[in-house]
Chains A and B, each alone.
Chain A
């Protein structure tokens, strides 16, 4: 076998992973025809080891394989030529280990700022460049956007990131903790912490109690709903639709304040820990939450329906920033952005999780434009509150279970992939342990890593004044990408 098949959060022995010649691995990847979720290296004593994780979303399986580069080997034939979805992964691998993917069409720095960045340029009398950032007018993260325009029309957008690179993956090796996981990406605190905790629990063989699992799932859905509501407000704000901006802003506060009641942090910091959760949801709190969420659902429903009926809003959203289904598929977009282009990727439902088993992911009529990304958000908000309501009802059944169980022994030479569906899409943490059971490689893949290029494609042939709206409709993470 050239692949070892595993599941989400199921550790495998490091030495069970097949190690192929890079050319064989390359043709295996092309033949397998699955979706790439991991493509990263690890320094080993005699060179670099390349791990590849491919996901089979219909079966809920993960295919893992690897290749070894001896110290002398400095290049290989790139996969991006055949499968464009690899393009960011190969750029990252090249940047981290200096092994060049030959004939890569777009081999530019990902996070490195030591080198000059070769921006793509169009020449012509009528063409002008507009550079935006890395410092922006709003209180947002740093990123540089370079537009090639003809008048108001954007021909090309190139996005340069990496301004926030903090070496997070190395920090996970030297001092792994829940606090660190929470701090990687501030708008996905729950998703990141959950991905980290689940990976560590899988490695240490910890069985988390049902009660803790339910509370975690509720928190994850609350995070999704809160951010989506905030984003609907931001989209309304960008179209200067004041009513939406104000009501969604106020409604989001209700949700994050409920999180504050649960764990003392509006963004859910400190709630999840390895082994379970730190805070309980008792019956009184649960009743209060249901009441608050009823109001939230009512407000969101009414406001979204009014907003999406307003002709001026519709005219801004429809056919703006279109990413077609083929483009989304070939670029390997994930999560919400993929759903909006008609690709139903959702690890909650694709990779069996017992708390989501009873829920069905309803079909979504996607058009790939800003309107579609707005509708996806609305749909997910409603879905999240539905899930929260059902799970809160289940909570009393598991009243006597512990919130947190203590840690077991470490396990050596393991490899585990932990996928959590954050509000943006799949947050993937891959952990490898050494022969002492300590973490020797920690790899994070944020959905933004796949989706930034989708934004660049979406903006093409749109008016430059619609860029902020397109950007807001994706709302990608800079720090999740920069790590």
Chain B
């Protein structure tokens, strides 16, 4: 019960701080003071107090979509193991439901973007859809490999890799972390896939799809985007944090991983430029390569001897 509560609190409130930490890190590398790490939370509160404007050309989908996005992200978040590897919903094959729940949310945000009739938003939707189709198979290959290795059909399998594969498991974990990090950068629209700070519509991916959203709708969408980031970070955390830590240490380790990743993302964004759109695919395909190597390693482990 307490763990469920902790999970929910982290899920709902960590996003603002994670985004704040990324911004602070970028400011640090740029030699600026930067905004307070609470600023994303303040922005969110400001948005929630605002009314919204909806274009006359849109249908009910546009109004409905932010709620679907938010609800699906929260639902997906319940499957993810967090502190002490505990997840609120723990069921075999949960990762498939998890993926398609997120997929549902994404589907609605795509059609809502198309719904506005803006040429920019259609472009953003097509880019986002395209990237997702590359990410999805790689994610499934990784999850399936780990299930084959551990025999555990839930997300908990992630933290049992070492126990089942020994030394080879370290390699698998390193590759899986890299793959999930690429997925994190892609799904959360960070450099080098997307530039979250740009004002140039023609280069945007996620941002351009929500150009028409305002006020509370925009607030919900940004919140959901932050939660999604924490969810994906939690998957990485599950891979590297051992399950059998005490509550205190586990909590510390978990928060360390999600904020540590935020610092890594901020540093990465300070040091490299965004890739050219046609090269982004190559970057995302690296996730598939990692996934296939994991699959091969698992096959060696199972059938090799």
On A, residues with C-beta under 8 Å from B are: 128-132, 137-138, 151-152, 236, 238-243, 245-247, 250, 310, 312-313, 315-316, 320, 463-468
CB contacts under 8 Å to A, within B196-225, are: 197-203
Report which of A130, A138, A238, A247 forms a contact with B123, defined as CB distance below 8 A: A130
Residues from chain B with Cβ under 8 Å of A242 in the complex? 26, 29-30, 269-270
Closest B residue to A131 using CB positions: B119
Contact call B120/A130, Cβ cutoff below 8 A = yes
Knowing A463-B278, A467-B202, the reply to whether A241 touches B119 (Cβ < 8 A) is no
Q: How far is the CA of A465 from the CA of B270 in the complex (A)?
A: 21
Determine the distance from Cα of A434 to Cα of B195 in the docked complex, in whole angstroms. 57
Given contacts A310-B271, A468-B203, 17 further A-B contacts (CB under 8 A): A128-B122, A130-B202, A131-B119, A152-B277, A236-B273, A238-B200, A239-B274, A241-B272, A243-B30, A243-B270, A243-B271, A246-B31, A312-B274, A315-B273, A316-B275, A466-B203, A468-B200
**Which residues from A are CB-within-8-Å of B199?**
137-138
Contact of A316 among B126, B201, B276 (CB under 8 A): B276
With contacts A128-B119, A243-B29, A315-B279 taken as known, whether A310 is within 8 angstroms of B201 at the C-beta atoms is: no
Report if B32 contacts A (CB, 8 A). Answer: yes
Nearest Cβ on chain B to A69's Cβ, whole angstroms: 43
Between A and B, 9 residue pairs with Cβ closer than 8 Å are A128-B122, A130-B119, A130-B123, A238-B200, A238-B203, A240-B191, A240-B273, A315-B275, A316-B276
Q: How far is the CA of A130 from the CA of B274 in the complex (A)?
A: 23
Tell me which residues across on chain A come within 8 A of B201, comparing CB atoms.
132, 137
Q: Is the CB of B32 within 8 A of A246?
A: yes
Complex partner residue of A465 from B192, B271, B277, CB under 8 angstroms: B277
Nearest Cβ on chain A to B199's Cβ, whole angstroms: 4
Query: In the complex the two chains form, what is the Cα distance from A463 to B278 in whole Å?
Result: 8
**Cβ contact within 8 Å between B198 and A240:** yes
Q: Per a CB cutoff under 8 Å, which of B119, B122, B197, B202 touches A468? A: B202
Contacts of A465 in B (CB 8 A): 202-203, 276-277
Which residue numbers of B lie inside 8 Å of A, CB to CB? 26, 29-32, 119-120, 122-123, 126-127, 191-192, 195, 197-203, 269-279
A151: chain B residues at CB < 8 Å are 126
Assess A240 versus B197: contact at CB under 8 Å? Given A315-B279, A316-B273, A466-B277: yes
A243 and B271 alpha carbons, distance in the complex (Å):
7
| Contact, CB under 8 Å: B202 / A312 | no
Q: Which of B192, B197, B271, B273 has the most CB of A within 10 A?
A: B273
Measured CA separation A466–B195 after assembly (Å): 13
Closest Cβ–Cβ distance, residue A471 to chain B (whole Å) = 9
Chain B residues in 8 Å Cβ range of A129: 119
B279: which A residues are within 8 A, CB to CB? 315
A141 to chain B, nearest CB (A): 15
How far apart are the CA atoms of A138 and B278 in the complex, in Å?
25
Q: Are B200 and A137 in contact (CB under 8 A)?
A: yes
Please give the distance in Å from A299's CB to the nearest CB on chain B: 11
CA distance A463 to B203 in the complex (A): 9
Shortest C-beta distance, A278 to chain B (Å), equals: 36
Partner of A240, one of B29, B127, B269: B269
- Measured in the bound complex, the distance between the Cα atoms of B117 and A131 in whole Å is 12
Contacts A132-B201, A464-B123 given; indicate if A312 touches B275 (C-beta within 8 A): yes
Q: Which of B192, B202, B277, B278 has the most CB of A within 10 A?
A: B202
Residues in chain B near residue A131, CB distance under 8 A: 119
Smallest CB gap from B194: residue in A: A240
Instruction: Specify which of B195, B202, B273 is in contact with A464 (CB 8 Å cutoff).
Output: B202
User: Nearest Cβ in chain B — how far from A319, in angstroms?
Assistant: 10
Q: Are B119 and A463 in contact (CB under 8 A)?
A: no
In the assembled complex, the Cα of A128 lies from the Cα of B276 at a distance in Å of 21
CB A235 to nearest CB in B, in angstroms, measures 10
CA separation between A375 and B289, bound complex, in Å?
36
| CB proximity of B196 to chain A, nearest CB, Å | 9
Report the nearest A residue to B211, measured CB to CB.
Answer: A137
Q: Which residues on B sit within 8 Å (CB–CB) of A138?
A: 199-200
B122 nearest in chain A by CB position: A128
Residues of B within 8 A of A464 (CB): 123, 202
The 9 nearest A-B residue pairs measured at CB: A240-B274, A246-B30, A240-B195, A239-B273, A241-B273, A312-B273, A468-B200, A137-B199, A465-B277
Nearest chain A CB to B131's CB is how many angstroms away?
13
Q: Give the distance in Å from the alpha carbon of A323 to the alpha carbon of B235 in the complex.
A: 47
Nearest-Cβ distance from residue B57 to partner chain A, whole angstroms: 15
Minimum CB distance partner of A145 in chain B: B202
Residue on B with the closest CB to A246?
B30
Q: Are B278 and A152 closer than 8 Å at their CB atoms?
A: yes
B181 to chain A, nearest CB (A): 17
* Cβ distance A191 to chain B, nearest Cβ, rounded Å: 28
Instruction: State whether B273 touches A313 (Cβ < 8 A).
Output: yes
Measured in the bound complex, the distance between the Cα atoms of B198 and A236 in whole Å is 12
Residue of B nearest to A137 (CB): B199
What's the least CB distance linking A150 to chain B, in Å? Answer: 12
Whole-angstrom CA separation of A129 from B117 in the bound complex:
12
Give every chain B residue within 8 A of A128 (Cβ-Cβ). Answer: 119, 122
Contacting residues, chain B, for A152 (C-beta < 8 A)? 123, 127, 277-278
Q: Across the two chains, which residue of chain A brings its CB closest to B278?
A: A463
Q: How far is the CA of A242 from the CA of B120 in the complex (A)?
A: 25
Residue of B nearest to A152 (CB): B277
Q: Are B30 and A312 closer than 8 Å at their CB atoms? A: no
> What is the bound-complex CA distance between A152 and B280, given in angstroms?
13
Measured in the bound complex, the distance between the Cα atoms of B195 and A241 in whole Å is 10
**A320 cross-chain contacts in B, Cβ below 8 A:** 276
Of B30, B276, B278, most buried by chain A (CB within 10 Å of CB) is B276
Alpha-carbon separation in the docked complex, A238 to B122 (Å): 22
Cα distance, A333 to B275, chains bound together (Å): 29
Determine whether the beta carbon of A316 is less than 8 Å from that of B30.
no
Residues on B with C-beta less than 8 A from A245 are 30
Cβ contacts under 8 Å, B202 to chain A:
130, 132, 464-465, 467-468
Residue of A nearest to B280 (CB): A465
Shortest B28–chain A CB gap in Å is 11
Q: Do B203 and A312 touch (CB < 8 A)?
A: no
Closest-CB distance, B219 to chain A (whole angstroms): 20
Question: Which residues from A are CB-within-8-Å of B32?
Answer: 246
CB distance from A240 to the nearest CB of B (A): 4
CA distance A426 to B42 in the complex (A): 49
Contacts of B122 in A (CB 8 A): 128
Kindly report which residue of chain B lies nearest to residue A317, judged by CB atoms: B273
Whether A316 contacts B274 by the Cβ 8 Å rule is: yes
What is the chain B residue whose CB lies nearest that of A149?
A: B123
Among A128, A152, A250, the most chain B Cβ lie within 10 Å of the Cβ of A152
Give the chain B neighbours of A312 by CB distance below 8 A.
Answer: 192, 272-275
Q: Of all chain B residues, which has the CB nearest A249?
A: B30
Bound together, the chains give a CA A245 to CA B197 distance in angstroms of: 12
> For the complex, what is the distance from the CA of A247 to the CA of B198, rounded to whole Å?
18
Which A residues are CB-close (under 8 A) to B126?
151
C-alpha gap A310/B268 in the complex (Å):
13
On chain B, the residues within 8 Å of A310 by CB distance are 271-273
Cα–Cα, bound, A129→B271 (Å): 35
Distance between Cα atoms of A316 and B273 in the complex (Å):
8
